[in-house]
Chains A and B, each alone.
Chain A
């Protein structure tokens, strides 16, 4: 017990001294993860759409060449950024760019460079997810859209992408949660996110394990809240399970649709066993509906 009370004491002393710094770190982590996931999704959707432009052997050679080039470029982008650690990408972009361009091209703002690194990294992962999401939409949807005269772009924007987006929502959530954790490597370019605060606090107080405990709990809270919110969002995207019938003919409902049920039939409200049965059925049905 002594160890735990010591740990708690250390944690509370850390929090009283660095509480605001931790909170600030959490804010920075969240903002970076959110913004980078959003931009990454946009990049991913762009790549995914460009990747799935239909091409046939009968198209003219220029179009085929351009499409092949686009696919090759995207392929290289995806393979490079998916296949190297984000820490190194950050180093290359923040320190490497000024080094090889003789300070012609450089990011002076750590926010911007962190955002760029995490975004293009997320984009590389999302590109493949989006491609999968688009392929997974029933080809009949494309045919239905084409049959009413939609162009490829109209089909994509109105029919395919909304459905692909729904299909890859779990993937987007996945990436967001990964980003919350993985932005911790941005300390390498001295970006003050949640984990960087830990390094600062430990450097000053040598309370390594208590601070790590704070970090653990903090990250877990962030990710648990995120996954809960993502579930809610997915439910919302799915829309209601029920729908309202619209009766434009008022007389239909007004004209006596109610028939008095036979005695002791399941619909007889005066017959207690039947009534209980109905109530029971409704309960079970409700449970099923809620699943």
Chain B
């Protein structure tokens, strides 16, 4: 039996009377790369933000190693330190240079020593190819560089699962590749990842589980070859057909 890290059960989320997510169910095992695809407004990002408790789910459970994290009295910051997140708009700390961006969480949240945090940060910055830029401020970097630093920042916290919220959507086309290749390497090394993406090639080649969402529900999920190659539902077929056209 695979080692289950995250289990989403009957998750629902409403903003006022507008129901964004309805009865979402899926599990993430250790080493899984799950791609969440779907049209804009189908609730993909909200789902990811719920998993990280940046949004409070209206009902349902999120089990992290079998423990529900949605209830009261759960230490949300502590939980979040185990679940890394990479945002569409990078969200690097503008007041710190690159190296400090990757250190501050380790020092303040994980209470590591500065030297240890620095060494760890350098390792991951080298991994994403941003080691020469440690003295640069985020505003001095290109989008792709920022996103790679953001990935290093998340990795430096030593997360058990990494969430990606459309990591390449805000990038110029020529920078998408550098970020995707980092993600691909990560996936190859067994990192557990949950990726909201519009990159169908990534979903097909890198992920081992694809979740297709439509209007707040999971329409279809399974192995990439099944969902992308041989969709069963009409919505999935229509969605994929639109991608094939362009």
A144-B95 CB under 8 A given contacts A150-B108, A246-B135: no
Of the candidates A149, A243, A248, the one having the most CB atoms from chain B within 10 angstroms of its own CB is: A149
A148–B137 CB distance below 8 A:
no
Contact of A248 among B54, B92, B131 (CB under 8 A): B131
Which of B93, B95, B108, B137 has a CB less than 8 Å from the CB of A243? B137
* Partner-binding segment picked from A13-21, A31-39, A154-162, A172-180: A154-162
Interface: B94 (CB within 8 A): yes
Q: Chain A: which residue is nearest B85 at the CB level?
A: A147
CA distance in complex: A146, B154 (Å) = 12
Query: What residue in chain A is nearest B126 (Cβ atoms)?
Result: A248
B77 partner residues in chain A, CB cutoff 8 A: 146, 149-151
By beta carbon, the residue of chain A nearest B91 is A144
The listed residue (B56, B94, B104, B131) touching A58 by CB distance below 8 A is B56
Contacts of B91 in A (CB 8 A): 138, 140-141, 143-144, 147
Closest beta carbon of chain B to A282's beta carbon, Å: 20
Given the contacts A149-B109, A150-B77, A150-B105, A159 and B93 also touching, CB distance less than 8 Å:
yes
Mask of A232-258 contacts with B, CB within 8 angstroms, 1/0: 000000010001111110000000000
Q: How many residues of A contact B (CB 8 A)?
A: 27
Interface size bucket, B side?
A: 35 or more
Contact assessment for B87 and A149 in the assembled complex, using a CB-CB cutoff below 8 Å: no
Verify B109–A154 contact, CB threshold 8 A.
yes
The answer, yes or no, to whether B64 is at the interface (CB within 8 Å) is no
Give the complex CA separation of A256 and B140 in angstroms: 27
From the candidates A138, A239, A247, name the one contacting B132 in the complex (CB within 8 A): A247
Q: Is the CB–CB distance between A141 and B105 below 8 Å?
A: no
Contact between chains at B108 and A154 (CB < 8 Å):
yes
| A 121-144 to B, binary, CB cutoff 8 A, 1 in contact else 0 | 000000000000000001011011
Q: Is chain B's binding surface mostly helix, strand, loop or mixed?
A: loop
Q: How far is the CA of A245 from the CA of B131 in the complex (A)?
A: 9
Contact B108 A147 (CB under 8 A): no
Cβ A246 vs Cβ B132 within 8 A: yes
- Residue ID in chain B nearest A137 by CB atoms: B94
Decide if A163 is an interface residue (CB 8 Å cutoff): yes
**In the bound complex, CA of A244 to CA of B134 (Å):** 9
Chain A nearest CB from B112 CB (Å) reads: 13
**In the complex with contacts A141-B93, A158-B104, A149-B157 CB distance below 8 A:** yes
Query: Contact flags (1/0) for B124-137 with A, using CB distance below 8 Å?
Result: 00000001111111
Give the residues in chain A near B237, CB-CB below 8 Å: none
Q: Take A140-B89, A144-B93 as given contacts and tell me if A150 and B132 are in contact as well, using a CB distance cutoff of 8 Å.
A: no
CA A162 – CA B133 in complex, angstroms?
22
Q: Which of A58, A141, A148, A245 contacts B84 (CB 8 A)?
A: A148
Q: Mark B28-40, 1 if CB is under 8 A from A, else 0.
A: 0000000000000
Flag if B89 contacts A159 (CB, 8 Å). Answer: no
* A58, B72: Cα distance in complex, Å: 10
| Contact across chains for A243 and B109 when beta carbons are under 8 A apart | no
Chain B positions 172-219 with a Cβ under 8 Å from a chain A Cβ: none
A141-B93, A154-B108 are contacts. A243–B140 as well, Cβ < 8 Å?
yes
The CA-CA distance from A141 to B150 in the complex, in Å, is 12
Q: B80 at the A/B interface (Cβ < 8 Å)? A: yes
Contact with A along B46-74 (1 / 0, CB 8 A): 00000010101000000000000000000
Which residue from chain A places its CB closest to the CB of B98 in the assembled complex?
A243
Residue in A56, A144, A162, A244 whose Cβ sees the most chain B Cβ within 10 Å: A144
Could you jot down 7 A-B contacts, CB within 8 Å?
A: A146-B80, A148-B105, A149-B157, A158-B93, A163-B94, A243-B135, A245-B133
Write the residues of chain A forming the contact surface with B, with a CB cutoff of 8 angstroms.
56, 58, 138, 140-141, 143-151, 154, 158-159, 162-163, 166, 239, 243-248
Query: Which B residues are within 8 Å of any A CB, using their own CB?
Result: 52, 54, 56, 77-82, 84-85, 87, 89-95, 97, 104-105, 108-110, 131-137, 140, 150, 153-154, 157
Nearest 3 CB-CB pairings of A with B: A149-B81, A144-B91, A148-B105
